[in-house]
Amino acid sequence: MIHPAKSMISYRRRVILKISALCLAGGLFSKLTSSFAQSKTSNSRNALVIGNSTYAKNSLLNPINDARAMGAQLGLMGFQVNLLLDTNLSTLNDEISKFALLLERNKSIGLFYYAGHGVQLNWSNYLVPVDAQIGKTEDIQQKCYELNKMLSQLTKASNPMNIIILDACRDNPFGKSLSLSQKGLNQFDAPPGSILSYATAPGNVANDGIGTNGLFTENLLKEMRDPDAKIEDVFKRVRLNVRLGSKGTQIPWESTSLEQDFYFNSMRVDPLVIEQKVAQALNPAPVSVVNASTQESLKLSSPTAPSLLANVVIQEPVKSAPILISSSQPEVALNPVRESKNKTAEDKDKQFEEELKLWESAKNSNSKDLTIQYIKQYPSGSFSELAQTQLDVILRSEGEKKLKIETSTLNPFSQGSSSGILNYKIGDKFAYEVRDILTNVIISNNSEMVTAISRDQISFNNGVKIIDRMGNELVSNNPKFITPAQFYPNEYAIGKKWVTEFDRMRTPLSLGSARVNMSFLIDKREVIKQSYGSFDAFRVKGEGRNSYGGKILLTYWIDPDKCPAPIKTELWGYGNTGRLNTSEITNLISYIKSD
């Protein structure tokens, strides 16, 4: 007679082997890392750049300067640019439609930049043309351009990528004639294959600035020039610089659904040359131009741009037709072939050790300057989410007020966002059940209670388990983390991606340590109902490899606004031969808040 326990083990082994075979043969688990992998996109780039300054009420100083500088710089980076200044509603409608059709026809990368007044109404965002006469709220829908219309057109274009940049959160667009209940722009999730960038967080406003350019665009222009900066790193550095420059009153915000790498300065133009040429474009000498529609030579006593900008079309209200600057390409040093990113294992180890050294210095010293240095140097690094959280805590201890992002479950255009700094309280109680996914056999049960909270740590059961403010384990009964790991982000939003690399002891401990590389993506929100409540949880999917060839698939669901701990977690682990050796689901079966 076969013993029941042995029968169960034998059954489980057969199931595991069968599942492993299916995974290897049929690709049951598609590679999440494909979302992060670099893929080649069209070399064709088109940009529509708009700057509206001369409003009848509450004119703005910088949008025209911002648009001119952005148009000039994009032209130097290989974009074909249509630059519109002080546009009315009719022109906005026509030119945006033409832009979407151009992207659809050329299947090119598209970039839309707008600087000027913008407002939100009934969850929709509107760009305010210079001819808008707004006397009552109802006029906004009729006399302003609804941004969702453009986003729909760009989605229909099915081009490889779209970049939408909105420096449109200036305060008080209509003066005393109309008071709006909602400030700034509404949160909107980026359409497929795009990134959507706001000059400040949804529901907040940005200053117009007192310099040549607004604070957001000034920093964006600077960071775009770096030939080795991926687009996400550009916006992360801009966010940091604007936050520091405004003392926390303005913090840019992005939503992304990009699956490809993108570099603004992919032609590797010398950043100093770009800066000089853009400055020259904003302070031009008289030049000859050619009318784009008639190809007749014209002379302008007050030119709009220097002859070096061969691929920038400029449209202003005083001219009846677009003006195309006619000249040869700018004399700049170009290297269109990117440097190889292939590194040896030794190079990667050295880079990791250098990054770890800087982060540990910042972490151990709790230094604001070192934390800022780390974020600037490694905006998407293995400890960047940890560093961002540390900076949040430091700046708030210095008096920075938390900038609230306006989000709501009623918003039809966004699934919302949440802070990754978790809200634990002393006395909070949690109970967990761990089951084998394949056999449904209970592996373990455990419970824990928060017993101490410091500025950067949460302690359970008098120190038996310790986590950081984001939920990452620092001390536990599990195999020890030798270096920090960031399984949890600084902020939750659909489309957010991050990576982590860390060293951890293997099981059994006699096997020594392993280095693990993982990529994470927040891909959706799902409603999860438990006996203790209903949760609108973010689903986070992670995939990784370890140094001995094993594969890790990790998925967890968390609703940080209602419960700081994950509601459930699934873990699949494979050995270096592809054999499945771990299949566990951890459910939070009880959550009791402290009074």
Which tens digits make up the pLDDT trace of 439-455? Answer: 999 999 999 999 999 98
State how far the Cα of 409 lies from the Cα of 416, in Å rounded to an integer: 7
Which tens digits make up the pLDDT trace of 81-105? Answer: 999 999 999 999 999 999 999 999 9
Residue 468's pLDDT is 96
Q: Comparing 198-207, 334-343, 454-463, 475-484, which segment has the lowest mean pLDDT?
A: 334-343
> How wide is the angle at C-alpha 70 spanned by C-alphas 69 and 72, nearest 5°?
65
Residue 4's pLDDT is 41
* pLDDT greater at residue 12 or residue 24: 12
3-state secondary structure of 368: helix
- Output the six-digit token pair for 38: 């670099």
- Output the six-digit token pair for 56: 């009848």
3-state secondary structure of 67: helix
Residue 172's pLDDT is 63
DSSP symbols for 191-254: PTTEEEEESS-TT--B---SSSS-HHHHHHHHHHT-TT--HHHHHHHHHHHHHHHTTTS---EE
Which tens digits make up the pLDDT trace of 469-478? Answer: 999 999 987 7
Which tens digits make up the pLDDT trace of 235-260? Answer: 999 999 999 999 999 999 999 999 99
Residue 137's pLDDT is 86
Domain 4-35+416-592 annotated CATH 1.10.760: no
Whether residue 293 has pLDDT greater than 60: no
Q: Contact 591/577 with Cβ under 8 angstroms?
A: no
3-state secondary structure of 264: coil
Which tens digits make up the pLDDT trace of 102-146? Answer: 999 999 999 999 999 999 988 999 999 999 988 888 899 999 999
* Backbone φ and ψ of 197, nearest 5°: -120, 130
Q: Give the H or E element holding residue 357.
A: helix 345-365
Q: Contact 444/434 with Cβ under 8 angstroms?
A: yes
Residue 508's pLDDT is 76
- Residues in Cβ contact with 170 at an 8 Å cutoff, skipping those fewer than 6 apart: 60, 116, 117, 118, 205, 206, 207, 208
Residue 495's pLDDT is 96
- Output the six-digit token pair for 556: 């967890």
Length of the chain: 595
- Residues in Cβ contact with 467 at an 8 Å cutoff, skipping those fewer than 6 apart: 457, 458, 460, 473, 474
Q: Contact 538/563 with Cβ under 8 angstroms?
A: no
- C-alpha to C-alpha distances, 111 to 73, 99, 100, 246, 312, nearest whole angstrom: 13, 10, 10, 26, 14
**Arithmetic mean of pLDDT, 11-39:** 40
Tally of CB atoms within 10 A around 257: 18
Whether residue 218 has pLDDT greater than 80: yes
Partners of 290 in the beta sheet? 297, 324
Q: What residue spans in the chain does CATH classification 2.40.360 cover?
A: 4-35+416-592
Instruction: Please tell me what DSSP assigns to residue 330.
Output: P
Q: What residue spans in the chain does CATH classification 3.40.50.1460 cover?
A: 45-324
Residue 300's pLDDT is 29
Domain 45-324 annotated CATH 3.40.50.1460: yes
3-state secondary structure of 592: strand
Residue 434's pLDDT is 97
* pLDDT greater at residue 548 or residue 229: 229
- Output the six-digit token pair for 175: 């003066």
Whether residue 330 has pLDDT greater than 50: no
Q: Give the H or E element holding residue 457.
A: strand 457-460
State how far the Cα of 72 lies from the Cα of 113, in Å rounded to an integer: 12
* pLDDT greater at residue 203 or residue 294: 203
Dihedral sign of CA atoms 238, 244, 250, 251 in order: positive
Q: Residue 310's pLDDT band (boundaries 50, 70, 90)?
A: low
For the whole model, what pTM was predicted? Answer: 0.85
Q: Residue 405's pLDDT band (boundaries 50, 70, 90)?
A: confident
Q: Residue 283's pLDDT band (boundaries 50, 70, 90)?
A: confident
Q: Comparing 190-204, 234-248, 403-417, 528-542, which segment has the lowest mean pLDDT?
A: 403-417
**Arithmetic mean of pLDDT, 161-178:** 79
Residue 181's pLDDT is 61
* Sole residue written with tokens 């409003």: 55
Residue 477's pLDDT is 79
Whether residue 7 has pLDDT greater than 70: no
Q: Residue 169's pLDDT band (boundaries 50, 70, 90)?
A: confident
